[in-house]
Structure 1
Amino acid sequence: MREIVTIQAGYYANFVGSHFWNFQDELLGLTDSIENDQIFKSHGLNMDVLYRPGETQQGILTYTPRLVSMGLQGSLGSLSSRGTLYKEIQEAQVGSLTWTGSVTTQTSQPLQKNLFLQSLDWEENTNVDRSGAYDNAQNEAHAEVQDKDIVESLENEVQYWSDFSKVHYHPQSLYELCGLWTDSKDFNNYGIGRESFSGGLHAEQVNDRLRFFLEECDHPQGIQFIVDDSGGFSGVAGEVLEIIADDYPNIPVLLYSVRSPDSCLDPSHRKLTIARRLHNAVSFAKQSALCKLIVPVGLPSLSTSKMSKYLYLEDRKPYHTSAVYASALHSISLPFRMEPHAPSAQYVSTSGAVTMNDLIQILAGQGRQNMVAVLDASMPAPALTSTGFQQPLLETLQPLTPETAEDVEDMQALESMIIHGAFASGSERASVCEVTEAVQAAYTNAVRRPRFSRLSVAQCPLPIPLPYPSIFGKLVGERGELFNTQVSDSSSSRGSLEVHSIPMAARLRSSIAILPFLENRLQNLWKLGIARGALGSEILGSWGFGRDDVEDIGETLSDMVTKLNPISKASSDSD
C-alpha cells in the first residue's frame, strides 16, 4: 500500500482541511449505505491511503485520518485536542498534604457546540444515520427541519474549522502551539513563526507525532502539506519541512500554500505593506526549496472569478472560500489512491492511478525542473455533448493560483488533469472512454497546447456533505447538472440540501503562466531587502536573516525565474 500522511498548519489551512476530510468521511458513509447511488459504492478508491485503522483502550475499532494538524492555542473551538474517540480516564488530582490554607480554583467554561455538532452527538447516541432511516414520519419531519436549521446556523455562526468538521481524529493528530507570548493578529510573518516554533519543545513534539504516522506506514508515497501561508505558520511550515528533509529525505512533499482572500490585500500602513511583501518572497522561497512541488492557492477574490457564474461566494467567509479550494485538492488527490488502468496513446496520456512522486516527476521533469505548479479547477465541470463538452472545458478551468498570466503560449508546458463525475449529453454519467475522447479532442483543437498532458478519469463525482456551505447558484442541479435557466427556489443560493454531488475537473500545470507570481516576489525582495538603502533590511534582520541569507533567498527565486524564462531574468537584472 502507498500511504499518504497529511499535515495542516494554520487557521485557513485547517479550514481547507476540514472540508477535505468531510469529503472523505462522506465517501465512506455513502459506500456503506445500502440506499445510495451505486456509483459511490464502486468509486475505486483505496481509502487506506489516507486513513489508518486503530483500536481504543476499550477495544473499539477506529478509522481516522493519517493527519497532523497544527494551530494556535484555542483554535480548536469546542473540539478537544485529544479528539473524541480515545477517551482516557483522567488521573485523580492529588492535593498537597502540607497546605492548610484556602484554595481558589479558576476555570473557564468550554465553548458550546453549535447545532451541527450537537446533531452529530445526537446521531451517535441514538444510532440514527443521515440517510433517512428514522423510526417514523414525525422523526423524519423533525430531522428535515433540523437540517435546515443546521445549514442556516453554519452559514452564520462558523468561527472555527472544527465547527463544521464531521470527522473523528486520532489523539496524535491535533496540536496546539501553546505558550506563545503574542496575540494571534501579531503572529503574521515568517520570522515570528520560525522563532516561536524553534525556540521550545514544539519541533520535538510535532516530529514525534509525524513519526507516529510515518513509521507505521508500509510504503509511504508522500506527504500532503497544506499551510496557511499568510502569516506565522509559513515560518512554522519551514521548520517542519527542514525536519522532514533531515529525517525523511526519501519521502516527497507536495505543498499547498493557501491563503484566504482577505489575506491577499496589502495593509494601508507602509511598514506593514513592506513587511507583507517581504514575507511573501521569503516564505515562498524558503518553502519551495524544502519540498518537491509547491502549489500556491488563493485568489484575491473568488466572488468575481469565472466561477461566480455557477457559485454564490462571499469572500469574507473562510467557510465559503476554503470549500472551493478543498474541492480542488480532493480532486487532485484522487489519482494517488485510484486503481491503475491501461494507458491510452496519442497526445493526451490517460491512466487512472498515479503516485505522488510520479506526478511530481511529470510536472518537474523533461528538463524543465520547475518546482512550482498552477492549480486550475472547473466547478461544476460541464457535461459532454455529441461533439465534445457542453462548454469548452479548457475555458471553464479557473486558475486558483494568484498572479498567473492568462493566454500565454508555452510550448514546454506540462500538465496533469483529473475529471470525475462528468455527465454525458443526457443525465447519465459519462464513461471513462467518452471523457477521454472528449478531452483529447479539446486539446487537439486548442490554439495553445502543452508539451505533455496526463489525464485521470473517474465516474464518482464530488459528494456534498451536510456541512458544505450554500455556495451553489440557481443554475446548478441536484447532481451538479448545469442549466441554462434558473432552478425555481426562494433562496439566493443552494447548499447541501439541494445539491448532493457535482462533477469536477482539476489540473496542475507547470507553465510560464506562473512567471508574474515569481517575478513579483523576486523584484520585491530585491527592491525592499537587497538593494542599497532597502527599506526592509531592518525587518528581515529582525526575522533572523542576515545579508548573506537574504541574497541566498534572492538567488533561489532568481534561479526559478531563469529556468522558466531566461529572458525574464536578464530583464529583471537590467532593472
Structure 2
Amino acid sequence: MKELVTIQVGDFANFVGSHFWNFQDELLGLASDPNADSVFKNQDLNMDVLYRSGETHQGIPTYTPRLVSINLRGSLGCMSSHGTLYKEDAPTPSDILTWTGGVSTQAHTPHNKNLFLQRLYEEENLSTVNENNGSNNGSHCEYQDKDIIESLENDVQFWTDYSKVHYHQRSLYELSGVWTDVDEFDNYGNGTNSFSWSSQGEEISDSLRFFVEECDHIQGFQFLVDDSGGFSAVAAEFLENIADEYKNTPVLLYTVRGPRPRSSPQSRKRTILGDLHDAVSFSRLSSYCKLIVPVGLPSLSKASKFLRIEDEKHYHSSAVYAAALHSISLPFRMLPVGPTTGACSVSGAVDVHGVIQMLSGQGRQNIVSVLDVAMPAHALNGGPNQLSLLENLQPLTPQVAEDVEDMQAVEYMTVHGALAPGGHHASVSEVKDKVDAAFQRANTRPLFRHLSVARSPLPIPLPFPSIFGNHVGQHGEFIGSEMTNSSSKGSIDVYSIPMAARLRSSSAVLPLLESKLQNLHQFGIARGAAGAEILRSWGFGKEELEEMEEMLSKMVSTLCPPQFSSDSD
C-alpha cells in the first residue's frame, strides 16, 4: 500500500479540507450501509491510503485521517485541538506558589454546537449506548434535516461547524499567539513576523513525523495552503522542512483561496502590496514542491450554470474545490486491476509520483497545472455531436487563457459516477469508449493524456451546502434545461452526482505566470520600484528577489510557444 499524508494550512484550506474529509466519511458509511446504492458497495478503493487505524487510551478502535491541519488560534470553533476522540488531561493546580503579585485571567467563551453538531453528538452517544446494551434502537434526535441545512446555510463560521469526521489528537495545530480574529494576517510579511519555525516548527514536524513513520510506503504529500495571506509564509517554512527531511517524497501542492469580497477601490499601496504578496507567495511555494496547482477564482457565482454559489460564503466555494480535489485524488487509492480481472469498478490507478511525472516529465519540466472540473458531469449521451464530458469542464485556476492550442499539452483526467443514457451508472468500459471518441472528434488534442475511471459517484453528505440548481436530479441527472428562481437544492434532494476533473500542463496558464513575473519586476525589483521597501520589510534582499524573478522567467519561457523565423530574417 502507498499511503498519502494530507496537510492543510490556513483557514480556507481547512474549509476545503473539511468538505473533502466529509466525502471520504460518506463513502465509508455507504460502503457498509445495507440500504445504500449498490454502486457504493464495491468501490475498489483502498481508504487506508488516506486513513490510519488506531485506538484511544481506553482501547476504543479509531479510524482517522492521516492529516496535519494548521490554523490560527481560536479557529476550531467548539472542537478541541485534541479532536473529538481523545480526552484532554484536566490541568491540576500547583501546590507551589512563587508569585505574590496580582493575577489577571483572560477567558475565551466556548462556542456552542450548532444543530448539525448537536445531532451528530446525540447520534454517536445513542449508538454507544445501544452497543453497550446490545440493543438496536434507531435514533430519535429531534433535529430535522431541513432545520440542520438551514442552520448551516445561515450560521457557518468555522470549518468545524460542518465536519462529520473524527480527527486524531496529533492532527490539529493552532499557531500560538496568532488569533483567528486578527485583522492583519493578510500578506506574506505578516506571516513571517507572526510565525517562527525555530520556536513552533518542531511541534508541527513531530506531528507530521508521527503520521509518516507509521506508513509502509508513503507515496507523497497532498498539501493544501490558503495562499491569500500570511499562511503562505507558514507553508513555505513547512515545505522547506519537508524538502529537507523527506527529499524523495513528492509534494502535490494546491494553493487555494476563497472568492474575493466586493469592496471599494483599494489604494495604490494596498494594490501593490497585494500584487507583491501574490508574486512572492507563488515563487516561494512553488520552489519547494514537484507540482503546484493554483485554485481559486475571483468569483464562483458564474463558473457553472448548474450551480448556485454565494461567493461571500466560504462554506459554498470550498465545497466545489473539495469536490474537484476528491475527484483528482481518486486514482491515488484505486486498487490496481490485473489483466485477468473481470468487470471492475475502477481503471487507471496511479500514484502521486506518476501524475507528477506525466505533467512535468514530457520535456518541458512544467510544475504549474490548471485544474478543471465538470460538476455535475453530463450523462454519456450517444449523439455524434455530444462532447459532453469535455465541453462541460470549467477551469478553477484563475487567469487561464481560453482556446489555447498547445501541441505539448499533457492531461490527467478522472471521471467517476458517469450516467449512461438510461439513467444507470455507466460501466468503466462505456466511459472509456465515450471519452476516447470525444477526444478523437476534438479540434485540439493533448500530446499525452491519462484517463482514470471509477463507477462510484460523488456522494452528497448531509452538511453539504445547497448549491445545486433546481434542474439537477437526485443522482446528478439533468431534469430540465432552464434554471428557475426557486430555491437551490442540497443533500435532501441530491444524493450523488457524476464528476469529471482534470489537471493539465498547458500554456493556458501563461497569463497567470506572466502577471506574477511582471508585478514582481515592476513593483519590487526595477529601479525606483514602489514596493521595494515593502519587500525589504518582509526580509527579502536583492539577490533573493532576483532568484525569484529568474525562476518565474524560466517557467514562462518553458511554456511560451516556439518562435519561427521568417524567410526575410
TM-score (norm 1): 0.92
The residue that corresponds to 1:155 in the other structure is: 153
The residue that corresponds to 1:565 in the other structure is: 560
417, 427, 430: which is aligned to 1:434? 430
The residue that corresponds to 2:40 in the other structure is: 40
Residues 387, 438 of structure 2: 8 Å contact kept:
no
Q: Deviations over 1:166-199 (max 9, x none)?
A: 0111111000011149962211111221333226
Paired letter, 2:534: I
Alpha-carbon distance in 1 for matches of 2:186, 2:208? 25
Residues 55, 61 of structure 1: 8 Å contact kept:
yes
Alpha-carbon distance in 2 for matches of 1:74, 1:39? 40
Q: Identity across aligned pairs (percent)?
A: 61
The residue that corresponds to 1:310 in the other structure is: 306
Q: In the TM superposition, what are the counterparts of 1:538-549 in structure 2 within 5 Å? A: 538-549=533-544
The residue that corresponds to 2:85 in the other structure is: 85
Q: Does 1:475 align with 2:471?
A: yes
Question: Which deviates more from structure 2 when the two are superposed, residues 249-258 or residues 89-98?
Answer: 89-98
406, 411, 416: which is aligned to 1:410? 406
Deviation at 1:529, TM superposition (A): 0.8
Deviation at 1:107, TM superposition (A): 3.1
322, 325, 330: which is aligned to 1:329? 325
Alpha-carbon distance in 1 for matches of 2:99, 2:411? 70
Alpha-carbon distance in 1 for matches of 2:357, 2:262? 30
The residue that corresponds to 2:211 in the other structure is: 213
346, 350, 353: which is aligned to 1:354? 350
Paired letter, 1:17: G
Total equivalences in the alignment: 554
Alpha-carbon distance in 1 for matches of 2:224, 2:238? 12
Residues 12, 257 of structure 2: 8 Å contact kept:
yes
Q: In the TM superposition, what are the counterparts of 1:49-88 in structure 2 within 5 Å? A: 49-88=49-88
Aligned CA distance change for structure 1 residues 300 and 264 (closer, same or farther; 3 Å): farther
The residue that corresponds to 1:530 in the other structure is: 525
Residue 186 of structure 1 aligns to a residue in which SS?
Answer: coil
Aligned CA distance change for structure 1 residues 264 and 359 (closer, same or farther; 3 Å): farther
Paired letter, 1:534: A
Alignment gaps of 5+ in structure 2: 130-134, 340-345, 564-569
Aligned CA distance change for structure 1 residues 374 and 247 (closer, same or farther; 3 Å): same
389, 394, 398: which is aligned to 1:393? 389
Q: Does 1:320 align with 2:320?
A: no
Residues 296, 396 of structure 2: 8 Å contact kept:
yes
The residue that corresponds to 1:572 in the other structure is: none
164, 168, 171: which is aligned to 2:162? 164
Aligned CA distance change for structure 1 residues 265 and 103 (closer, same or farther; 3 Å): closer
Paired letter, 1:554: E
The residue that corresponds to 1:194 in the other structure is: 192
Alpha-carbon distance in 2 for matches of 1:74, 1:207? 21
Paired letter, 1:16: V
Aligned CA distance change for structure 1 residues 182 and 377 (closer, same or farther; 3 Å): closer
Deviation at 1:567, TM superposition (A): 6.1
The residue that corresponds to 2:480 in the other structure is: 484
Alpha-carbon distance in 1 for matches of 2:98, 2:352? 60
Q: Deviations over 1:421-445 (max 9, x none)?
A: 0000011111111100110011100
Deviation at 1:205, TM superposition (A): 1.2
Residues 458, 497 of structure 2: 8 Å contact kept:
yes
Deviation at 1:25, TM superposition (A): 0.5
The residue that corresponds to 1:115 in the other structure is: 115
Q: Does 1:514 align with 2:509?
A: yes
Residue 453 of structure 2 aligns to a residue in which SS?
Answer: strand
Query: Which consecutive aligned stretches of 4+ in structure 1 deviate over 4 angstroms post-superposition?
Result: 97-106, 133-136, 263-267, 388-391, 485-488
Aligned CA distance change for structure 1 residues 164 and 504 (closer, same or farther; 3 Å): same
507, 530, 549: which is aligned to 1:554? 549
Q: Deviations over 1:379-431 (max 9, x none)?
A: 00000122368553221100000000000100100000000000000111111
The residue that corresponds to 2:566 in the other structure is: none
The residue that corresponds to 1:443 in the other structure is: 439
Residues 232, 281 of structure 2: 8 Å contact kept:
yes
Residues 230, 263 of structure 1: 8 Å contact kept:
no
Residue 179 of structure 1 aligns to a residue in which SS?
Answer: strand
Deviation at 1:528, TM superposition (A): 0.6
Residue 383 of structure 1 aligns to a residue in which SS?
Answer: coil
Aligned CA distance change for structure 1 residues 183 and 546 (closer, same or farther; 3 Å): farther
Question: Which deviates more from structure 2 when the two are superposed, residues 533-542 or residues 391-400?
Answer: 391-400
Q: In the TM superposition, what are the counterparts of 1:248-327 in structure 2 within 5 Å? A: 248-262=246-260, 268-305=266-303, 307=304, 309-327=305-323
Residues 128, 134 of structure 1: 8 Å contact kept:
no
Deviation at 1:97, TM superposition (A): 5.5
Aligned CA distance change for structure 1 residues 183 and 479 (closer, same or farther; 3 Å): closer
Alpha-carbon distance in 1 for matches of 2:103, 2:388? 72
Alpha-carbon distance in 1 for matches of 2:234, 2:348? 35
Alpha-carbon distance in 1 for matches of 2:540, 2:146? 52
Aligned CA distance change for structure 1 residues 106 and 230 (closer, same or farther; 3 Å): closer
Alpha-carbon distance in 2 for matches of 1:312, 1:254? 29
The residue that corresponds to 2:365 in the other structure is: 369
Residues 339, 352 of structure 1: 8 Å contact kept:
no
Question: Which deviates more from structure 2 when the two are superposed, residues 157-166 or residues 256-265?
Answer: 256-265
> What is the aligned-residue RMSD (CA, Å)?
2.5
Alpha-carbon distance in 1 for matches of 2:282, 2:261? 15
Alpha-carbon distance in 2 for matches of 1:491, 1:390? 29
The residue that corresponds to 1:571 in the other structure is: none
Alpha-carbon distance in 2 for matches of 1:264, 1:271? 18
Residues 383, 423 of structure 1: 8 Å contact kept:
yes
Q: Does 1:341 align with 2:299?
A: no
Q: Deviations over 1:122-172 (max 9, x none)?
A: 10111199xxx9958xx77x66x6211100000000000000000111111
Deviation at 1:263, TM superposition (A): 6.5
Q: In the TM superposition, what are the counterparts of 1:23-34 in structure 2 within 5 Å? A: 23-34=23-34
Deviation at 1:91, TM superposition (A): 4.4
Paired letter, 1:21: W
The residue that corresponds to 2:343 in the other structure is: none
Residue 358 of structure 1 aligns to a residue in which SS?
Answer: helix
Residues 16, 325 of structure 1: 8 Å contact kept:
yes
Paired letter, 2:164: K
Residue 260 of structure 2 aligns to a residue in which SS?
Answer: helix
Residues 363, 509 of structure 1: 8 Å contact kept:
yes
Residue 312 of structure 2 aligns to a residue in which SS?
Answer: coil
The residue that corresponds to 1:222 in the other structure is: 220
Alpha-carbon distance in 1 for matches of 2:160, 2:71? 12
421, 428, 435: which is aligned to 1:425? 421
Q: Deviations over 1:436-465 (max 9, x none)?
A: 011001110000111011100010000000
Paired letter, 1:543: W
The residue that corresponds to 1:247 in the other structure is: 245
Alpha-carbon distance in 1 for matches of 2:208, 2:455? 34
Aligned CA distance change for structure 1 residues 223 and 236 (closer, same or farther; 3 Å): same
